[in-house]
Homo-oligomer: A and B are copies of this chain.
Amino acid sequence: MVSSVHPPRGMRDFLPGDKARREHVLSVIRSVFSAHGFDEIETPVMEDSSRLHAGLGGDNEKLAFAVLRRGLTSEDLGRATDPLDLADLGLRFDLTVPLARFYATHRAELPTVFRSIQIAPVWRAERPQKGRYRQFVQCDIDIIGEEGPLAEIELMTATAAAVTALGLTGWSIRVNDRRLLIGLLDVFGFAVADRETVLVTIDKLDKIGPDGVVAELRERGFAEAPVGALETFLGRQQPVEALPFGEAAIAAALPDGVDPAVVADLAAIGLAVDAGQGAPVVQFDPFLVRGMGYYTGTIFEIAHPSSSSSLGGGGRYDGMIGRFLGADVPAAGFSIGFERIVDLVDLPPDRAADAVALLYGADTEPATLLRLKTELIALGRRVRLERTPRNLKPLLEQLSAAGFTELASVSAATATVDDLRFRPIGT
């Protein structure tokens, strides 16, 4: 019976050590975002089903967990042809759709330029696999109401600062612009109607390589002229890391015919972020796609050598936030994939140096124990009571792992904390 008791498939429990580690990492991220002028908000975990399935979530909509409407009768069940007919709510699959709804609800109470933090779980019914869960935490910052490049610069700077504060090194921010990507496809000669399909294949470049991309496009029956042009371009493309960043470098990396104004904007954004970091962290990636269809301008991802997938990403999505308002509102956001980051971070543990265990025997009065505990807490200590076991070793190991550094034994003669003799617990 015991072995059958598990959390639901693809979802995890967090024991004290893991929970403390996660909260510590989140508190670092939260405080950096706050210093950068962002404000934390919270929305319910559920949204109206119709809102989750309004086309803003791309493929993630299909992965939404649906919540049964209350008070369903057996006739309702009989009439239903689609499971979604029976659901009026669903669990959010990202933090962007709820943010759009939140903004529409509260716009009048929010500043003209609203900088939000959302640190919260989302749910997706994906096939569980290593490193992929059905409940996971995202850390999003968004700037709503700023149409200029300052939004992208602040988002990338704040995210870079968070990643730095977590002690990660070797990462970079890859940037591109949806408009450059589209311009590139136009220059190669792909049809407007084929853009999204071609981008889906180009998005696999990291996984299947240039030859794989070209082969897949040929297999899908695209005309030889644009595919050949792409192949030539992929062949001459320098590794991204080798490119010196800037307007001239980006223009030189692209074929003629791409909009120079977009190139200039992207270069200005990247250089401003680099200047703030005191070192080059931004790289131009002409093949960065980002999956979601709602991006309208700059797009970006955090790349890290330890991981083939990104640690987070985002971009500008001017058309989306206004959807529930019936008005266009400029917006951009950056989302940290917390579950990937937390596995890479090696922060010193947030252990209280003054955590102490009080060992007691069966004859000790509970009231005495409580008095000692309360006095020690008043002195600023973290205190745990432990009944003295026959074999002390396993307890000491457990206490040490839980961050306790000292112990003292309570005896019948112990009257006050001054009678306690503290001994260190070895690491």
Contacts and interface: CB of A to CB of B under 8 A. Distances in A.
Interface of A: 1-2, 5-8, 11-16, 19-20, 22-23, 34-37, 39-48, 65-68, 70, 72, 74, 77-78, 80-83, 86-87, 89, 91, 101-102, 104-107, 109-113, 115, 121, 123, 125, 135, 148-150, 153-154, 157, 161, 268-269, 271-273, 275-276, 324-326, 352, 366-367, 369-371, 373-374, 377, 381-387, 389, 395, 398, 402
Tell me what chain A mostly uses at the interface: helix, strand, loop, or mixed: mixed
A115 B384 contact: yes
A276 B121 CA distance: 39
A216 to B, nearest CB: 29
Contacts of A382: 34-35, 37
Given A66-B67, A383-B36, A367 B268 contact: yes
Query: Interface centre among A105, A110, A121, by most B CB within 10 Å?
Result: A105
B148 A366 contact: yes
13 contacts: A2-B324, A5-B105, A5-B324, A13-B105, A16-B40, A19-B41, A19-B42, A36-B377, A39-B402, A70-B125, A77-B81, A273-B370, A275-B371
A1 B150 CA distance: 31
A87 B101 contact: no
A43 B14 CA distance: 6
A298 to B, nearest CB: 13
Contacts of A275: 367, 370-371
Nearest to A374: B276
A385 B115 CA distance: 10
Contacts of A367: 153, 268, 271-272, 275-276
Given A5-B104, A5-B324, 6 more contacts: A35-B382, A36-B373, A66-B67, A150-B369, A157-B373, A273-B370
